[in-house]
Amino acid sequence: MIKRTAEEIESRRARRAERRQKQRDANIARAAKMHIARLASDPLIVITSDDNVARRVHIGCSGWYYWHWKGHFYPTDAPSNQLFSIYQHNFKTVELNAPFYSWPTVATVKTWKRQAEPSFVYTIKVCELITHIKRFEDTHALIEDFGYVADVLGMQMGCFLFQLPPSVRYSTDMLQMILSQLDPRRRNVVEFRHKSWWNEDVYSAFQAAGAIFCSCSGPRLPDELVRTADDIYIRFHGIKQWYRHDYSDAELTVWAERIKLSGAKTVWAYFNNDRDGYSIKNAKRLLQMIDASA
């Protein structure tokens, strides 16, 4: 194992911060271009949240483009342009994390649509420009613009996932600001990372707005399934450590039973524990459990 000096570590951090800032600056320009594209589009092509999902159980991974999956899931010698084909041979849905960091271009979204089979469904994590930079401060137009992704994907669009940072704690003002800006035509999921949001006032407000409260399996977060709509949405991050927990059959059985008892019409579940390919194994196993209990 190579040991790095303090100077090398600090240099890497500085370069990473510089790249992230450039990415964030670029997101503003990309959002502006999508705004123009949305305004120029035919409003009649808007796909509502209830039009586009035939299957009722959607289980997959949070992301699919991981080099460290080579040797675990992808063949070691598989070229990068074949990885998605391998992924969708095993799963019928994916939660895309990349749009969180980089606001997608229309061309990129069209590539997603073109590369996928007609039955494949994408869930899209909304850009941090909305959730982390502006934190929903006057983001109604930005949310509408990002929603154009769904119009381009059409029948292959699943959910929009809005993830808030752990520093955002519950308040009635923040709750109202979030829900008042969501587009009711879309299937909107909101993931909180602070436990204060797990309360009945939030659940009631989500139900009234038709929004989906994201249930989380994650460190220091309430371990429960919350249903606020006909759809339920679960993200599996890990129990004691983020992104690196290998869920046991016993742990997955608990969630399979919760899903069954929820009475939800549609299930969305994504595994974000990508370390060592655990998400692949765990997603397949949960899908087997759900299918067996159907």
Segment 167-199, tens digit of pLDDT: 999 999 999 999 999 999 999 999 999 999 999
Segments forming the whole domain that contains residue 175 = 6-42+55-293
pLDDT band at 154 (very low <50, low <70, confident <90, very high): very high
The token pair at 157 is 């669009």
User: Is residue 48 a part of any domain in this protein?
Assistant: no
Q: b/e per residue, 21-55, with b = 16+ CB within 10 A?
A: eeebeebeebbeebbebbeeeeeeebbebeebbee
Provide CB contacts within 8 A for 293, sequence distance 6+: 256, 260
Residue 76 lies in a domain: yes
* pTM beyond 0.75: yes
Amino acid symbol at 243: Y
Q: How confident is the model at residue 3 (pLDDT cuts 50, 70, 90)?
A: low
pLDDT tens, 257-276?
999 999 999 999 999 999 88
Phi, psi for 11 (deg, rounded to 5): -65, -40
Q: How far apart are CA 207 and CA 228, in angstroms?
A: 5
Six-digit token string for 165: 């940072």
Q: Determine which helix (DSSP H) or strand (DSSP E) holds 27, and give its type and residue range.
A: helix 6-40
E strands of 178-265, at which residues?
A: 188-191, 212-217, 231-236
Neighbours of 170 (CB within 10 A): 15
Average pLDDT, the chain: 92
* Cα within 13 Å of Cα(129), Cβ side: 26
- Residue 86 is assigned to a structural domain of this protein: yes
Average pLDDT of the residues in 140-147: 97
* CB 229 within 8 Å of CB 208: no
Yes or no: say if 121 and 158 are a contact pair by the CB < 8 Å rule.
yes
Q: What is the pLDDT of residues 202-247, one digit of tens each?
A: 999 999 999 999 999 999 999 999 999 999 999 999 998 898 899 9
Q: How many domains does the chain have?
A: 1
199 lies in some domain: yes
Which residues share a beta bridge with 161? 125, 189
- On whether residue 50 sits in a domain, the answer given is no
In a domain, 49, yes or no: no
Does residue 284 lie within any of the structural domains? Answer: yes
What pLDDT shows up at residue 181?
Answer: 98
CATH number at residue 198: 3.20.20.410
Q: Within a domain: residue 251?
A: yes
